[in-house]
Amino acid sequence: MIEDAALPDHYFAIIDQTTYLDFDTPVPFHEGGEYYESALEKVDGSTNKGAFGRAVRLIPDGEFDRILKSGFAPVLGENLSSEATPPGFSEPPVPFERPMVEMMVSRPFREKSFMHNVRAAYSNRCSITGLRLINGGGRPEVQAAHIQPVASKGPDSVRNGLALSGTVHWMFDRGLISIGDDYRILIAKDHVPEDAARLLNQSGSINLPTDPTLYPNAHYLKFHRDKVFKG
């Protein structure tokens, strides 16, 4: 954060798109009658509406750690780390530890979270072919692809992601196909065999998430067309 020169005791929160990461599940301000942030609860147990209305709040390390664990519970529950345990108010209080914060910025954790969120947004269905394949173990075969690559400072945000089958993911990463601002599928001329082109949606457009707030961002789509696409 940086201090606001015009207003004492006010600060600007700077969010770096390369470090931004969506929670796997939204975290409510209270659950089961208990509050994630102690400052939001009055002595009588009611909500402190004055504190709740602040856009930026200072949160004690231990409470911040618990919010992170709750927000990333689906990924933590898949045994990414022996130190990661699902959250819950029933757990006995433990000292705040840095590993949870450090885990959140590590590539394996971020990739797992990104994959989980993109697959969920697209209902485990390839956005470009419409295929929804589930393996014998009940896991979806669809992959999570970055539109603006991580190597080019693309964030691990759902709006920078697409659910793609393996072959289409390979084609997308190599610029053989791309997507217009109108979500039409673009094909690089003389680069995609006819047999491969038949795999793409006959409608000519991608399948979109049911939630419009998760649609691919035009900024990332333009980056892919300008920097990756061979069309």
Looking up tokens 């798109």, which residue turns up?
17
Cα separation, 217 vs 224, in Å, equals 11
| pLDDT (0 to 100) of residue 80 | 42
Element containing residue 11 per DSSP (H, E): strand 11-12
Cα separation, 100 vs 112, in Å, equals 15
User: Are residues 38 and 60 in contact, defined by beta-carbon separation less than 8 angstroms?
Assistant: yes
Looking up tokens 């409470």, which residue turns up?
63
User: Are residues 126 and 166 in contact, defined by beta-carbon separation less than 8 angstroms?
Assistant: no
* Chain centroid to CA 187: 27
Highest mean pLDDT among 9-18, 24-33, 158-167: 158-167
Which sequence spans correspond to the domains of the chain? Answer: 2-105, 123-227
Q: Which segment of 17-26, 131-140, 192-201 scores lowest on mean pLDDT?
A: 17-26
Q: Which segment of 12-21, 117-126, 204-213 scores lowest on mean pLDDT?
A: 12-21
Q: How many C-beta neighbours within 10 Å does residue 198 have? A: 9
User: What does pTM read for this prediction?
Assistant: 0.71
Looking at per-residue pLDDT, the higher value among 11 and 95 belongs to: 11
Cα separation, 123 vs 158, in Å, equals 13
| pLDDT (0 to 100) of residue 179 | 98
